[in-house]
Amino acid sequence: MILAEQNVAAEKSGLATSKKGLTLKDLLPQTSHCNAKLRKDALHGLKDLLKNHPAELQSHKYAIIQKLRERIMDDDSLVRDALYQLFESVILPACKNVLISSSLWIKLASLLVNCCV
């Protein structure tokens, strides 16, 4: 007999996962969830995943940043704070030596300004 949990684990074998076993594909949609705690937890999960698997950020940086920009004006201050921490500790340091388009830097600057206000 095969349990559903075994199938999920088998599907994720070889993929980069967070401490909670979630992949980038799992976490990115959760950043838009209607529940603020789930959004915050998803951002913490992304921070964990990207810190431990930096190749994921390099491979998917534009999709990740595109999705995260939705959280710039989040209504919940804890979500904005988690987003700021994610950019400050993982995304910006990883991208500092990479040439990024000026429009992306403008979005990042906007993010940092909005989080600090």
- The pLDDT of residue 58 is 87
Q: What is the pLDDT of residue 115?
A: 56
- Distance set, CA 91 to CA 39, 43, 96 (Å): 18, 12, 9
Q: Is 22-116 a domain of CATH 1.25.40?
A: yes
**90 vs 87: CA distance, rounded Å:** 6
> What's the mean pLDDT when you consider all of the chain?
82
Mean pLDDT of 18-30: 95
The residue extents of the domains of the chain are 22-116
- Best-predicted range by mean pLDDT (1-10, 62-71, 105-114): 62-71
